[in-house]
Copies of this chain bind each other. A is one copy, B any other.
Amino acid sequence: MRAEIITIGDELLIGQVVDTNSAWMAERLNEVGIELYQITSVHDTREHIIAALDEAFRRVDIVLTTGGLGPTNDDITKQVLCDYFGTHLIESASVRAHIEQLYAERPDVLNRLTATQWLVPESAEILPNRVGSAPLMLFRQGSQLLAAMPGVPYEMKIAMEEQILPRLARPTEHIIHKTLQVNGIPESALAILLEDFERNMPPYVRLAYLPKDGVIRLRLSAYGRATEDEMQTLFDQLRHLTRDYRIADTDEPIEVLVAKRLKETGATIATAESCTGGKLAALLNRHPGSSAFYMGSVVAYDNAVKRNVLGVRADDLDQYGAVSEPVVRQMAESVRALMHTDYAIATSGIAGPDGGTPDKPVGTVWMAWATPHGTTARCFRLGKLREQITDRACTAALINLLKIIQ
């Protein structure tokens, strides 16, 4: 069974908004066995929306739209869908009651524009949107189905989880994806290592390489024809072949793998960050439950903070520079002592665009890992662009920590 997503909004096509919705929806659709065939982003214009609907329904039976359901004039999705499905707007007493209750304490929201939100297409099934005013709409025509949702990510997510996904017919075939992650081998060398494996794969199984920030995710995919046992056998072969580089047998982000391992062992962690500037801290506490292992961080961006808060020796800062082994070692050990943790990570590097030297070009990052059994440090060269350098530094810091705690 196949679906398509149509995201509606000029903001996507002029670059004011990154479409994070589609990836989230794609993942959830795959989990329930529905293949997402295409994603299309279109303008808030009648002709464009209708053309995209026509094309999508020629390819698939399920179309999910996001966006264009707000109360303002630039939001036209509801009216266009009425025209497309040959229906018209009527007042919904239940949507009205919901909106009046949702904004009971906000008279400034309960105005005549918000009142247009309780007008709904007569022929559509209206599903409750418990976190917003835009009604969720389900249109059915023969075997085809269209679900229209708001583009606000958290409204869309609740709509999908609670209302849309449970109403999509369960497919009889399975989609199976199995992903492992490797580190420390170039993509092309990995592909050569796996050449025989790829040649011998059944034709209905695909292998994909997804390199990012120094990690390559290897994904085996089968749509329909492969059994779980068969895929597990292939995956085990892949695990064996990549054993020297493998860091995980799942698609979970590195910070989740680290969190799991720390929770299992009851260990705690802190970070002392210069070039990563809090990004490593934010990664470690991004997911629920992080207070069990994550204590805190010092972001020592300025050298005075390295000296005064982390007690890095001024002599070492002068002699070796802030991006150096002695400095990251002291940063890691100091924050570990300050926050009474089992582990600590320190980063100091040149994220650019300025500050590079011939000896330490932009992209040079020193890191240290302080543990109950001593401290290790290592220097990396992580690219040329600010965001790339800091992202890769976080990944490298966590991969190395994972190796230490495993």
Do B301 and A154 have beta carbons less than 8 Å apart? no
Which chain A residues numbered 95 to 125 have a C-beta less than 8 Å away from chain B? Answer: 106, 108-109, 111-114
- Can you give 11 contacting A-B residue pairs, CB < 8 Å? A14-B36, A15-B22, A15-B29, A16-B251, A38-B41, A39-B40, A40-B40, A154-B384, A154-B388, A276-B282, A298-B299
* B111 adjacent to A192 (CB under 8 Å): yes
Provide the A168-199 mask, 1 if CB < 8 A to any CB of B, else 0. 00000000010100000111110110000010
Tell me the complex Cα distance, A347–B217, Å.
36
When distances are taken between beta carbons in the complex, the residues of chain B under 8 Å from A28 are 15
Report yes or no: A22 in contact with B19, Cβ–Cβ below 8 A. Answer: yes
Write the chain B residue with the least CB distance to A294. B301
Q: In the bound complex, do residue B26 and residue A13 qualify as a contact, i.e. CB atoms below 8 Å apart? A: yes
Beyond A72-B191, A106-B186: 4 further Cβ-contacts under 8 Å?
A38-B42, A277-B282, A277-B294, A288-B352
Q: Does A404 make an interface contact (CB < 8 A)?
A: no
Q: Which of A300-352 contact B (CB under 8 A)?
A: 300-302, 304-305, 308-309, 338-340, 352
Cα A207 to Cα B70 with chains together (Å): 14
- Residues of B near A385 (CB, < 8 A) are 154, 157
Q: Are the C-beta atoms of A297 and B299 separated by less than 8 Å?
A: yes
Contact B12 A17 (CB under 8 A): no
User: Which of A108, A284, A291, A299 counts the most chain B CB atoms within 10 A?
Assistant: A299
Among candidates B27, B221, B279, residue contacting A282 with C-beta atoms closer than 8 Å: B279
Please tell me if the beta carbons of A302 and B309 are within 8 angstroms of each other in the complex: no
CB <8 Å contact, A13 and B25: no
Measured CB to CB, the closest approach of chain B to A393, in angstroms, equals 12
A27 → chain B closest CB, angstroms: 3
Known: A26-B14, A282-B279. A386 touches B302 (CB 8 A): no
A-B pairs, top 3 by smallest CB distance, nearest first, are A15-B27, A278-B281, A278-B278
Q: Which residues of B contact A131 (CB under 8 A)?
A: 384
In angstroms, Cα B158 to Cα A313, docked, is: 40
A-side residues, CB < 8 A to B, are: 10-20, 22-30, 35-44, 48, 52, 55, 70-74, 106, 108-109, 111-114, 131, 152, 154, 157, 177, 179, 185-189, 191-192, 198, 206-212, 217, 219, 221, 251, 270-271, 273, 276-282, 284-288, 290-291, 294-302, 304-305, 308-309, 338-340, 352-354, 383-388
Whether A207 contacts B30 by the Cβ 8 Å rule is: no
Q: Which residues of B contact A10 (CB under 8 A)?
A: 206, 208, 221
Contact assessment for A25 and B15 in the assembled complex, using a CB-CB cutoff below 8 Å: yes
Cβ of A30 to closest chain B Cβ, rounded Å: 5
Within 8 Å by CB of A74, from B20, B206, B305, lies B206
Q: Within 8 Å CB of A340, what residues of B?
A: 304
Evaluate contact between B301 and A305: CB separation under 8 angstroms.
Answer: no
Partner of A20, one of B18, B209, B299: B18
Instruction: Kindly identify which residue among B111, B271, B288 contacts A353, using a CB–CB cutoff of 8 Å.
Output: B288
